[in-house]
Every structure is written in structure tokens, then in C-alpha cells.
Chain A
Amino acid sequence: MTARNAAPIASLAFGLAVLCGAAACTNFYEIPIETPIQPKMDVSPFSRVLVAGFIGGGTDDVDANLETVRLLRSQLRSKSNLRVIEADALSLTTLAVEQSKDAPARGSNGTSGGPKAPAAPGGAADGQLQPVAALAPNGSAQEPEAKIRNEKDLEKYQGIFANTAFWKKLGEEYQNPLIVTGTVLFTPTQNSGFVMTEKEVYDQFGRRRVVPVRTYMERKGFILRPKFIFIDGRTGATLYSETFNEQVLYNAQQNTPALSSYFELMDKLVPSFLNALSTQKVRGSRVLLK
């Protein structure tokens, strides 16, 4: 073989190799997949869900109870198979205060009894008693309860979630749905210290580079700590509960409304919340091989 005919042969071989690599000889294929993650709870006995209300606390700028009820209902309406019951959000803080007052009067069985022996729907069974749903709709606080600012303040109200009679009664009023309740603490936070930021630099030839720089920054933001409790409306028993903790921090000069931060943080939690009730699909891609 001479040098003259070696060059075209080599280029032909290279061309074939490229062609082979691009088409016929490809031995891997990227493929999109959706991995289903099974729900954490079996909700098959329920066809309806009642987002009853939350014990909210933290900043005064956001009504954590109302906003959480609204957001979860809208998410459940569009992303679950359960029918969402539209009802006023309960002010659980007020109800919890009432229950704790009633508890000594009821004696040692405090947590097993209902808050006010509520009536059956329509009041047919016992006309003079009010149903649970009418006891404390949100916004009609019957007496000013102490402000909830932190986890410790919240602890005083936790007893309401163990009151199975209360939840059973509420379940009866709405034809035994799955009840969603819990606590939501949305608190402002401040955090100062060194953070890594990126800075543009230009070298002597005018080429741009981005380099990491440690900078001292004053930052402020919010912490969202919700605890979602799922209660069986037929028995009043807790089926499942899950606690989350999310934080967002901004530059101290940035003025971000509390409500925007609340939604920003809730956006991160909602998929996990929904995964308690329904199968969620995680989108990704994998490589199939020949």
C-alpha cells in the first residue's frame, strides 16, 4: 500500500466508524422514565377528605391555619382522587383551649371524651347541642388565647390530636372522611455569617471567569415547620403523621413578603404531603444498553 492510497482508505475507515457510531452501532439509548413512589397510607376506605384546620403560630403576617387549609385543599382537589370537603377551617387553637378547660371537669378521662358532646348532623339526635364544626370556625375566636411563637408554645395544644372522641364526632358530621389536621409554625429567622458567593473576574486578556468568594452576609428569612396529621374520621384515631422543616434565607436588604416565603416553602413540602395519600411519580431518565 502506498502513501497515496493509504490516506483515502484511512479517511473512509474513519467515516465508517463515525457513521457506525452515530447510527447502526449505537449500543445505548437514553430513555425517560417515571418511577412511581407508593403512598405512605392506604386511603382506599375513604372517598372524601376534610382538611379541618391547623394550630398555627409564628409570625402575625400570615394566618398559617387559613393559608395551609386553602393550599392543601387546592392541591388535593387537583392532585388526588379524594373529593375535598368544603367547610370553614376550624380554629383548633380555640378548641384546644376549651378542651383543656373541660378536661378537669371530665375527670381523668379527659382525653377520651369529646370537647362539647356535639350533636349529629342536623341536630336530630340532640337538638340543644352544637356540632363540632359550628363550635369554632376560624376567625371567630371565642376568647383570646396566648400567642403561639415557638414549638414550646405549641406543645400546650397538642392534646387535641389525641382526643379521638372529638375527631370521631367531627368525622360523623362529614360522613366519615379522612381528616387532615396538624400544626404549622411559620417563624421569622435571622442568620449572619460567611456564605459562598460567586464573583466575576477578568484576567489580563479580558477573559471572564466566575470564582467562589467567601462573604460575610446578614441574612433573614423564615422557617416553616408543619406537622401533618391524618386521622380516620370513622374512629378518630391517628393513621399517620409527618413533620417537615424548611428554611429560606434572603439578603437582609431584600424585602420579601412573608406570604411569598410561606408559599415558597410550602411548594417544597407539598409533593411529600401528597405522597402520603397518592402515588407520586418521580421523573428521570436512564440508559438502556444493547
Chain B
Amino acid sequence: MFFRAVVFSAALAAFAAPALADARSQAKEQVEFGIKVAQSGLWKEAAYRWQKAVEIDPTYAAAWNNLAIAYEQQGNFEQADKAYQKAVQLDPNNQMIRQNYDLFKEINDRAKRRTDR
């Protein structure tokens, strides 16, 4: 019984791993294209690409980080906050994501303080 379970898990891992790797590589393509267009100032297209990337691979922290930046650039603070949180949650030790999030929070807090007045 135990042996069967081990064999089944191994088989599942063997089939799932390439599928996950495939999702990551597809998402990576979208992320890379998004970076290119963002560098040309086409933030809407970039946001679309990074949205696709997180749909393909919801565990891809870099894609969530980039998507958050695109939302921030478009003034969509609520969604930017959610996307940054997701990126931090997926990769808590990534200092670059943390730094981006800290800079965003500074601006977001300032904007909130103003509207509260």
C-alpha cells in the first residue's frame, strides 16, 4: 500500500514538474515582453502582459511585482497594493520587491492622508 502511494506520488511529481516548468516559461515570455514594452513607455500593454503572466503562473513573484508597478504608474493604488502584497508573500526575502513596496507605500500613505483631511 505504502509502496503504491510512493509510486503514485513520484509519477505525479514527474508529470507535474514539466507542466509547472512549462507554465513558468510561458509566463516568463509574457514578463519579458512586458518589460520591453514598459521600457518604451507602453504601460497598458505591459500591464496586460503581466496580468497574463500571473494568470498562467500565479506563483510567479516577479510577475506580481511588475504588475504592481504598472498599476502604480496608472494611479491604480488599490490593485497595486494587492499585487505588491502577493509578490511579497510569494518571495518574502526578495529585497527588490520589498524596496518597491516600501516606496509605493510612502506615496500611497501620502495620498491617503490628503484625502482624509
Contacts and interface: CB of A to CB of B under 8 A. Distances in A.
Given A31-B69, A287-B99, A38 B111 contact: yes
A20 interface: no
A290 interface: yes
A11 B10 CA distance: 40
Contacts of B31: 289-290
A126 B28 CA distance: 74
Nearest to A36: B75
Contacts of A242: 117
A40 B115 contact: yes
A282 B65 CA distance: 19
Contact of B69 (A37, A40, A286): A286
A272 B111 CA distance: 10
B111 A286 contact: no
Contact of B75 (A31, A38, A40): A38
B26 interface: no
B103 interface: yes
Contact of B114 (A28, A29, A272, A286): A272
Contacts of A272: 114
Contacts of A28: 96
A287 B96 contact: yes
B81 interface: no
Q: Would you call the interface of chain A mostly helix, strand, loop, or mixed?
A: strand
Given A31-B69, A33-B72, A288 B111 contact: no
Nearest to A37: B111
Contacts of A40: 114-115, 117
B75 A288 contact: no
Given A29-B35, A286-B103, A288-B38, A35 B73 contact: yes
Interface residues of B, number: 28
Given A34-B73, A35-B72, A38-B111, A284 B97 contact: no
Interface in A241-290: 242, 272, 275, 279, 282, 284, 286-290
A47 B38 CA distance: 34
A62 B69 CA distance: 45
B110 interface: yes
Interface string A105-141: 0000000000000000000000000000000000000
B54 interface: no
A202 B102 CA distance: 38
Contacts of B65: 287-289
A242 B100 CA distance: 30
B62 interface: yes
Given A29-B39, A40-B114, A289 B107 contact: no
Contact of B73 (A27, A33, A38, A287): A33
A32 to B, nearest CB: 10
A-B pairs, 9 with minimum CB distance: A289-B62, A36-B75, A287-B96, A286-B69, A33-B73, A286-B100, A37-B111, A288-B66, A288-B35
7 contacts: A31-B39, A35-B104, A38-B75, A38-B111, A40-B114, A288-B65, A288-B66
